[in-house]
């Protein structure tokens, strides 16, 4: 990769971090570090753009900007109101029963189980799949609300 292109991409990574655009930032960082090739980077960025087609941004005649976003987010097979999510935490543990690691995302990790959606855990087949979903959730939730990411 040319040095000037690499410097340009590093500045874009800084910009994406400031606007809390985590999955696109992660994709470009991996491309800079040569962990993924250009074709995979393009594919991941295209997935990101398709994922965010659900966000409608309109500029009014008076210059005001209106964001319209779906009020629910799909995690696994479950639709959850974005207002019910206060934090996301990645988890990993070894299952002796399955003789394998389990990778998950915990919603609203808490010692209090009395609220709906506290300690709700979603498991994924691999760490890569879990991390990809986690980044998407970070993207969509950071646009709409102030959610804590652990």
Task: Tell which wins on pLDDT, 142 or 110.
Answer: 110
- Poorest-confidence range of 27-36, 41-50, 119-128, 134-143? 134-143
- Poorest-confidence range of 29-33, 75-79, 111-115? 111-115
- Checking if the pLDDT of 30 tops 90, the result is yes
Q: What does the pLDDT read at residue 65?
A: 65
- Poorest-confidence range of 31-40, 56-65, 70-79, 135-144? 56-65
Largest CA distance in the chain: 61
Residue 114, Cβ neighbours under 10 Å: how many? 6
């Amino acid at each position: 990769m040319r040095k000037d292109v690499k410097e340009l991409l590093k500045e874009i990574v800084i910009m994406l971090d400031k606007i809390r655009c985590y999955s696109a930032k992660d994709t470009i960082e991996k491309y800079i570090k040569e962990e993924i090739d250009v074709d995979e980077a393009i594919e991941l960025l295209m997935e990101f753009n398709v994922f965010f087609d659900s966000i409608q941004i309109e500029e009014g005649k008076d210059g005001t900007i209106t964001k319209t976003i779906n009020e629910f987010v799909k995690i696994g097979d479950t639709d959850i109101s974005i207002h019910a999510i206060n934090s996301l935490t990645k988890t990993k543990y070894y299952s002796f029963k399955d003789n394998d690691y389990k990778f998950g995302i915990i919603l609203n990790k808490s010692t209090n189980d009395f609220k709906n959606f506290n300690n709700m855990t979603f498991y994924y087949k691999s760490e890569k799949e879990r991390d990809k979903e986690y980044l998407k959730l970070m993207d969509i939730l950071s646009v709409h609300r102030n959610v804590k990411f652990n």
